Amino acid sequence: MRVIRIDIDIDKAVKNRHFDRAEKYMAQRVKAYCDPYVPFQTGHLKNSAEVGANYVKYLGPYARFQYGGRVMVGIRSGSPWARRGEKKVLTNRSLSYHGGGQRGAKWDKRMMAQRGGELRRDVANFVGGTAKG
């Protein structure tokens, strides 16, 4: 996990009353920056994101294995289209993703590797600070 350092002018942030909203703003920006990376076939996963005070959570029964990027198959059937109530297990096969070249597994980590600097500057600007590193 990569740590982002943001230097904040506390007096300016408190004076502008942005400090209490900074975490929510950062979570909203993370979601926006992640959107082009989230798997997209029908748009349900991308559009299911719940933004909280300091988190982004993707909802849906398949969000976890989409994030992991591995095919899951039914224990008995051995098929990705498992029978109703059948438990699934992970395989070593990678998922194929639709909707563009950037979309795929571990979308938050890939977004941070490519656009972390932009996010850092965006949040620093919101709270009246400067981004370093």
Average pLDDT on 86-114 reads 88
Between 116 and 20, residue with greater pLDDT: 116
Range of 10-19, 47-56, 64-73, 106-115 with top mean pLDDT = 106-115
Q: What is the pTM of this model?
A: 0.74
Between 29 and 23, residue with greater pLDDT: 29
**CA dihedral sign, ordered 121, 124, 130, 131:** negative
Q: Which residues have C-beta within 8 Å of that of residue 3, sequence separation ≥ 6?
A: none
